[in-house]
Structure formats: C-alpha cells, structure tokens
Amino acid sequence: MSAAEEQLYGRSLRSARRRWEAFGAKPPQAEIFELLRVAGRNARTAAGLMDSLMRYWPEDRGLRQEISDCEEEGDRVTHKIVNRLRASKMTPFDREDIHMLAGAIDDVVDDIEEASEQLASKRVEAPMEQAQQLTSVLRDCGRELAAALDDLEHLEGIEEHLDAIRKLEQEGDQIYRGALAALFDNAIDPMFVLRWKDIYAALEEAIDRCRAASNSIESIIVKHT
C-alpha cells in the first residue's frame, strides 16, 4: 500500500467509525480490538492457572478444568474474530495480520492446555523446580501479552511489553536448556527422563508462542506507525 493509499484508508476508517458511533453502535473495528483484548486476557488467565497448577501439583484444585475452559474460550474468541474479519469491509489492520495474531494468541492457550494434560497423562508425582521456573516465565509472558493487546488500539505504550516478552522468552530458553541438561545428567530412570522432557518441551513451546504473538504485534506496529 502506497503512502497516499494509507492516508486515504486512514481517513475512510475514521469516517466509518464516526458513522457507527453516531448511531450509538460500536464500529466493526472496535469489536475486533475488543475481541483481541479478550483473547489476550484469556491467555493471561490460562498462563496464571498453569503456574498455579505446577505449584500445587499433584493437588489439582480444579485448575486443569479451568485451563480447558480457557482453551475452549480461546477457540470461541478466535472464531468470532475470523467471522468479524469476513463480515467487515474495513478492518483496523491488514486482515492477514489480524488473522495471524489471533491464531498466535490461540496457540498460546492450546500449548498451555497441552502442558497441563502432560502432567496428568504422565502421572507426575511432584513438580520439578525448573518446571516451576518455566511456568513463572510463562505467567509473566501472559501478563505482558495481555497488556500489549490492551494498548493495541492506540498503538502506544506497547514496545515495553514486547521487550519484556523478548527477555522472558530468552530467560525461558536458558531455563529449558538447563533443565534438559540436568535431566539427562542426573536421572537414572529413562521413563522419568522422557516424562519431564515432554513437559519441559510443552512449557517452552507455550512461551515461544507468546513470543510469536508479540512478533505479530510488532509487525502491525511497524506497518502502522
């Protein structure tokens, strides 16, 4: 899109917003922003629940079900975003970028649920310290991602949250590598090694998904600022 086309698109978007607001309704663009905020808060909730689950395990306290509920909610919100994109003639950003961002947020919650299911299916008796460290990083990533999405509509104050996610993802990588090294160096039971290797991988993947979502946000910022 050329500079002139972007300027024209911006004026059209503002004009459409005013027409919707004149009739007391939310413009479709505002609905998309709100759905992205809901998706981000859902990811934040799931990440916090995963952190609590790892700390309380093997006592579940219904946390696994709550995480599954978050996964279902994430699917519903993503479906709403996709439908809104299909129905709207105008969108706040490129449709492909919004679709990619919505999918990345949904992937975060999917991987969190996978990690929670690994705890149960592998019959883990007690959490490992490195796993608790990873869920702490994941929890903080979820908070920063939700905060970035809260600010996305105005494209202000986002970069600090994206920087935080980058640093957290790097911290998660270090913990993950250290956890695997310790696992293979110290464990005698091969099943114990395999069990925790899969759990560590699921947690690390969820953190990586947060980074992928932040990269999608960064791409949007670069195009529209």
The domain ranges of the chain are 3-224
What is the pLDDT, as a whole number, of residue 87? 84
- Give residue 25's pLDDT: 38
Task: Write phi, then psi, for 119 (nearest 5 degrees).
Answer: -60, -40
Q: What's the whole-model pTM score?
A: 0.85
Nearest to 46 by CA among 74, 67, 73: 67
CB atoms within 10 A of CB 87: 9
Give tens-digit pLDDT for 121-160. 888 888 999 999 999 999 999 999 999 999 998 888 999 9
Phi-psi region of 20 (alpha: psi -120 to 50; beta: other; left: phi over 0): alpha
Separation between Cα atoms, residue 12 and residue 8, nearest integer Å: 6
Q: What is the pLDDT of residue 16?
A: 40
Within 10 angstroms of residue 66's Cβ, the number of other Cβ atoms is 19
Pairwise CA distance, residues 134 & 108, whole Å? 14
Which parts of the chain register pLDDT below 50? Answer: 1, 4-26
Predicted confidence at residue 187, as pLDDT, reads 62
Q: What is the pLDDT of residues 41-59, one digit of tens each?
A: 999 999 999 999 999 999 9
Report the pLDDT value the prediction gives residue 27, as an integer from 0 to 100: 53
State the pLDDT at residue 184.
83
- In terms of Cα–Cα distance, which of 55, 194, 49, 189 is closest to 131? 55
Q: Domain 3-224 carries which CATH code?
A: 1.20.58.220
pLDDT at residue 1, as a whole number: 45
